[in-house]
Structure 1
Amino acid sequence: MRDFMRCMRRVTFFAPLSLVACIALGGCTNGPPNPNPRADQPLEPVSVDLPRYMGRWYVIANIPYFAERGFVASRAEWTLRADGRIDDAFFGRKGGFDAPEKHYRFVDAVVPGSGGGRWRVRLFWPIHVTQLTLYVDPDYRVTILGYPGKSLGWIFSREPEMDDATYHALLARLDAMGYDSTRFRRVPQFPAQLGQPGFASP
């Protein structure tokens, strides 16, 4: 009986780690096969000016991992620390604009030699994932982030709204990188966007 209880305590402890590991490895994205003929093309991060890159970014569209699904008015806020790491805060409302705002914090580390474009994001000790900056415009107003397996991706903007021409141009960049751009869904930032074509449902 004592051995059984010890075993159950181990299972209870390691279950959350297994779940996070599943997220980290992309096993919980449940995505279809990528039909893009450039799907096997490796993703290359771009160099970024980290101090300029910091601040608030609104999530315009994404291929989310399961914990992001159903969020509206979501945004990220990045702060460069004195030790060179990055405080990575996520805000959003789960299920609708009337829901309370949720807030999650992570700590990111820039991979040496990557020009600031490759980050290791600590989800939960000891689990890290790799986040790639795939594009940032010269004015640092829009950016694309990706995941090495192309099962996850994000389009961010400094403003909560993005015109259709800019959005489709960014999708075209993602397609050229080998992403299945049809999997991206726009994230509602305003109630009037709910139910509009191309927007995710909360």
Structure 2
Amino acid sequence: MRRVVHAVGVSLLIAIAACAGAPPNPNPRANDSLVAVSIDLPRFMGRWYVIGNIPYLGEHDYVGTYTQWALRGDGKIMDAFVGRRYGFDQPVTGSFFIDTIVPNTRNGEWRVCFSWLACTTRLALYVDENYQYTIFGLSDRSLGWIMARDPAVSDEMYTSLLAQLAALGFDTSRFRRVPQRADQIGKPGFQSPGKPE
């Protein structure tokens, strides 16, 4: 388990370093401050499918991904990232973390440690009133995630969530959809997993 967590931590560090070389964000709101939204933690817990993200090494080549969050007795959050690497015919694998709520953020900022070397803070930037759709991102906008309770999200809803990200100052041209069904692989706008080595 420690090897998996450490490997993911190293991957995250590499991904963050790679983001530093990303092209400049053309969004005119790119330098505006991001403010996390208020989250009702018990209502927010459960499974959230990753519908789209800014691709990075830690989630690269995964399909059918989702995050399972569970509130612990000490107020921290069990965080499981689950998916199939390289295709839907591959086994389910995952990584497990403990998230800590940043004090005085109305449960909207989560500190995630991937190893003792690598921690980051994710901001909940949007959640709809029915807790069916959410957007997370890093404060520098280098990474972002569109998530939903259901793996099937219409093109119209995805476009609407991208518009939310644009209003928040993200470069939406960097977002790609994550295949949640085999027939989505290779379609325009979707990530295409590589092949096992």
Q: Give me the TM-score of the superposition, normalised by structure 2.
A: 0.90
Q: Identity percentage over the alignment?
A: 50
Q: 1:16 to 1:95 in 2, by over 3 A?
A: closer
Q: 1:102 to 1:23 in 2, by over 3 A?
A: same
Aligned residue for 2:18, secondary structure, equals coil
5+ long unaligned stretches in structure 2: 1-5
Q: CA deviation at 1:138?
A: 0.1
Equivalent residue number for residue 162 of structure 2? 171
- Letter of the 1:107 counterpart: I
Equivalent residue number for residue 111 of structure 2? 120
- Letter of the 1:89 counterpart: A
- Letter of the 1:28 counterpart: A
Map 1:17-36; keep pairs closer than 5 Å. Answer: 19=10, 22-23=13-14, 26-29=16-19, 30-36=21-27
Q: CA deviation at 1:88?
A: 0.3
Equivalent residue pairs, number:
187
Match of 1:109 among 100, 106, 124: 100
Moved over 3 A (4+): 15-21
Equivalent residue number for residue 3 of structure 2? none
Equivalent residue number for residue 49 of structure 2? 58
Distance across 1 between alignment mates of 2:161 and 2:109: 19
- 8 Å contact from structure 1 (residues 28, 66) kept in 2: no
Distance across 2 between alignment mates of 1:107 and 1:132: 16
Q: CA deviation at 1:164?
A: 1.1
Q: Give me the TM-score of the superposition, normalised by structure 1.
A: 0.87
Map 1:91-102; keep pairs closer than 5 Å. Answer: 91-102=82-93
Question: Aligned Cα RMSD in Å?
Answer: 1.9
Whether 1:153 aligns to 2:132 is no
Q: 1:23 to 1:107 in 2, by over 3 A?
A: farther
- 8 Å contact from structure 2 (residues 46, 68) kept in 1: yes
Aligned residue for 1:195, secondary structure, equals coil
Distance across 2 between alignment mates of 1:21 and 1:188: 21
Distance across 1 between alignment mates of 2:114 and 2:9: 12
